[in-house]
Structure 1
Amino acid sequence: MKYITLLVIFCTVFIACEQKKTKTAINAENDEKYLSTKDEIIVFDSLAPVEVIYKDSIIGWKGYFKVTEDLKRLKKTTPNEVLNTAEELTKDVELMRDSITVEVLNERGMRARINTLFNQSLRLQEMKDIPAITVPEITKQTQGLFNIYRMINTKINAIYEQNDFERELVEDNFFFSKIDSIK
């Protein structure tokens, strides 16, 4: 009798567990049916970033650092989150464009890159209103933002390296020395 009771209890528990597993599987299928591919986390900036070597020279440029923070948040996120934060990113890029306080950086090449970044962020903002937009299109646009931002950082480094080189030439009086001159 004792063994029969244990067998009945064991069978009851076993059957109850099987029913819970099927209910869980059905719930998982229902959840997957309503998930969108735009809700999957994607790493957008997979290329190595270009660090600004002369950060202390651009410390007063608020817009640059706001855009940097926005792009750090967008580095590993979902396409839906990218579309939702596109408006804030556009405002920060506009602030970056309008608030260049460093005179050395206020040149045509830099302004062209910043305007391109602004246009890319506007395009990303407009994508939010397009219902048929796909994840690869969002990914391509977001990757374009990171590429242009990398170009801006490279240009900042190049401008300051050129200034350092010119300053060293003047200090060393390299080209203007009279070593090779004929007296």
Structure 2
Amino acid sequence: MKNIIYVLGLFCIISCNETKEDTIVENKDKPSMSIVRKYATAKKISPIYQEETKDWAELKAVDEFLGRFQNVSAKEILSNSIELEGLVASLKKESKPEMFNIPSFKARLNILHNETLRLVDMRDIPAITANEVDVQTKKIINSFSAVNDKINTILSKKRFEDAIDIDVKYIGLDSTKIDSVSKKSINENLQRKLEEKTKNQ
């Protein structure tokens, strides 16, 4: 009888120690994933181009969602990763203003989408660390900044071209080498001038 009591007592002590060890490991992992970190905001679209992008719902949705990542923990980032990936997938897939249907802009959207997919994958890695989530979050913010940067560049180019009043045939441009955005702007300017001339006659 005494032997049975000793065995049961020994078993209880061993199982208590294992539970304590598990708790210690859990508690060591939890704090780092729950620490709130501060992130820089992604580059914004220039205020002078807000009018051109005001109806672009998918772009706004991604911008607003990433705004939540300014003060956030790794745990919160991972729990929001699927929703973020869905928003970026919509931005990539849904129709966008025609001037942005160019390979260089699509490439930036692809990079952004790939980075969000990587973040989603991190949810299923048990050994993932807060630092790895931190690095990935910064990559996503930088990728979205690159998207907005490209939007600013395209709209700046369009605005510059719209301001040019000289017909290309008078300045010796090879119209076969002008990209689609430039051609469209030049044609619109010429059409507008033609309409004005017709009205004045």
Q: Does 1:72 align with 2:72?
A: no
| Equivalent residue for 1:132, pick from 121, 127, 131 | 127
Distance 1:160 1:81 in 2: 35
Question: Whose helix fraction is larger, Structure 1's or Structure 2's?
Answer: 2
Q: Does 1:110 align with 2:86?
A: no
**Residue matched to 1:168:** 163
Distance 1:61 1:106 in 2: 14
Distance 1:49 1:138 in 2: 17
Contact persistence 2:44–2:148 (CA under 8 A) = yes
Distance 1:63 1:100 in 2: 9
CA-CA distance at 1:175 after TM superposition? 8.9
Contact persistence 1:61–1:100 (CA under 8 A) = no
What are the residue-to-residue correspondences of 1:52-91 with 2, within 5 Å?
A: 52-53=45-46, 54-91=49-86
Percent identical among aligned pairs is 27
- Structure 2's unaligned 5+ residue stretches are 1-23, 172-201
- Structure 1's unaligned 5+ residue stretches are 1-29, 178-183
Distance 1:51 1:172 in 2: 32
Letter in 2 for 1:52: I
| Equivalent residue for 2:96, pick from 101, 111, 115 | 101
Letter in 1 for 2:158: N
Contact persistence 1:117–1:145 (CA under 8 A) = yes
TM-score (norm 2): 0.66
1:55-109 CA distance string (max 9 Å, x none): 2212222111111111001121000000000000000001111123211111111
| Equivalent residue for 2:150, pick from 152, 155, 169 | 155
Distance 1:162 1:37 in 2: 45
Task: Give me the CA root mean square deviation.
Answer: 2.2
Aligned length: 144
| Equivalent residue for 2:36, pick from 24, 32, 41 | 41
Contact persistence 1:67–1:89 (CA under 8 A) = yes
TM-score (norm 1): 0.72
Which moves more between the two structures, 67-76 or 53-62? Answer: 53-62
